[in-house]
Amino acid sequence: MKINTAFIMCAGYGKRLNPLTLKIPKPLLEINDLTLLENTINLIKNLNIEKIKLNTFYLKEKIEYFIKKKKFNIEIEIVEDGDEILDTGGGIYNMMKLSPKTEEHFLIFNPDTIWDQSYVKTIKKMIQFYFLNKNNNILLVVDKKLSFDKHLKGDFNLVKNILTKKNENDYIYTGCQILNKKIISDSNFDMPAYNFPISTIWNNLMKSENLSGFESENKFKHLTNLDIYKKLLKNN
């Protein structure tokens, strides 16, 4: 089994990084003279993925121009959210429904994590685990002790590769997941509206202990807010 297509979530406003994101979409902010978007694309290419879809809404013309200007040696398709910005689940669903029916499994990235190349090995292992265990949704998570931002709270707990939530959680979602499209198409949402957060899917799966997790041992650097971004610029 193989994953052919990766999604990059690029539609958001990035309000926590104002005033920088008033004129620059968050995926085009730079670390070490490299945009977050290009850094994510480079990682995906090293995972031997054949195609990338990215969704756009806020300052979409700047992202479209950047993609056209750069010569990425991989097929990239831009999918606009439409007249209104879609929530994360809606954005993913919108890209899925425009994909070939033969494609079932998708690798999904948030570009505001600094994906260094050490993640390649980790994500390849997660893909192997996903297919070996016939998972439908698996999230790459990291112990919050490895987070650059020490104020980040955990999103989940992880026991034997099953994710749960309690009052105190030790693992942070890194911004990378694999999703089987049947999880969305089989869910009980009003799909014509398809404007829902991806956490709705996760919460449904957790009820039956079917949300899988894969632990990353990589240091986690994420653009939480403007202060963290400034600190990352100094430390990279």
What CATH number does residue 62 fall under?
A: 3.90.550.10
The C-alpha angle 227, 228, 230, rounded to 5 degrees, equals 65
Residue 184: what pLDDT? Answer: 82
Give the residue numbers spanning the domain of 213.
5-235
Mean pLDDT calculated for residue range 192-205: 83
Q: Are 64 and 139 in contact (CB under 8 A)?
A: no
Residue 235: what pLDDT? Answer: 84
Q: Do the bridges between strand 212-216 and strand 137-143 make them parallel or antiparallel, or are there none, so unpaired?
A: parallel
Residue 187: what pLDDT? Answer: 57
C-alpha closest to that of 175 among 133, 234, 221, 236: 221
Mean pLDDT calculated for residue range 96-107: 89
Q: Is the pLDDT of residue 29 over 80?
A: yes
Q: Is the pLDDT of residue 193 over 70?
A: no
Phi, psi of 37 (to 5 degrees): -65, -45
Provide the domain count of the chain. 1
User: Which element (helix H / strand E) includes 30?
Assistant: strand 30-31
3-state secondary structure of 35: strand
Task: Give Cα separations from 184 to 5, 16, 164 (angstroms).
Answer: 17, 29, 20
Beta bridge pairs of residue 162:
159, 212
pLDDT confidence bin for 71, thresholds 50/70/90: confident
Q: Is the pLDDT of residue 215 over 90?
A: yes
